[in-house]
Amino acid sequence: MNGRPELEPSLELCTFVPFRLNRLATGVSQYLAAIYQGRFGLDIPQWRVMATVGGRACTAQYIAASTRMHKTRVSRAIAELEARDLIERAANEQDRREREVHLTKAGRRMYTELVPLALERERTLLTCLTPGQLQGFLEGLHGLERFLRLEDQP
């Protein structure tokens, strides 16, 4: 002992990477929400369901796993989108116990209108990065996803 009290570890939240990633994700989500909330009346869970189902018919379990949303939020979003006639559920032909979710004609029209707007919003957001920064950012995201084993999830 050198006679000095030991300092307890401290944490500066604003420089703590997990907090910064969470704050960034929230900010980006709010930036994108300007597209789908005002114009299309979708909330975040509904948007994520629409974006997931727009690519292919899938189950609620798949949506929950791929979006990392709790199954209750997914189920509620599906019910709300069904009530708006944007998606519907049908029995899975391979496994009758599972129900697949897919877009209705109205849902497909909305999805077709929404996707280019969302992609443009993404492009606009990323213009704040130089090409080198963007490449490094995407590589860093991939590295974190690989470390957390998120890259090979549905």
* DSSP E strand boundaries for 3-135: 58-59, 87-91, 99-103
Q: Is residue 106 part of a domain?
A: yes
At 39, which CATH number?
Answer: 1.10.10.10
Per-residue pLDDT band at 1 (split at 50, 70, 90): low
Q: Is residue 20 part of a domain?
A: no
Q: Is residue 2 part of a domain?
A: no
pLDDT surpassing 80 at residue 36: yes
Q: What per-residue confidence (pLDDT) applies to 150?
A: 85
Average pLDDT (111-121) is: 96
Which residue segment(s) compose the domain that 126 sits in? 34-147
Q: Is residue 37 exposed (0-12), middle (13-18) or buried (19+ Cβ within 10 Å)? A: middle
pLDDT surpassing 90 at residue 4: no
Contacts of 90 (CB under 8 A, 6+ apart): 57, 99, 100, 102
Q: How many domains does the chain have?
A: 1
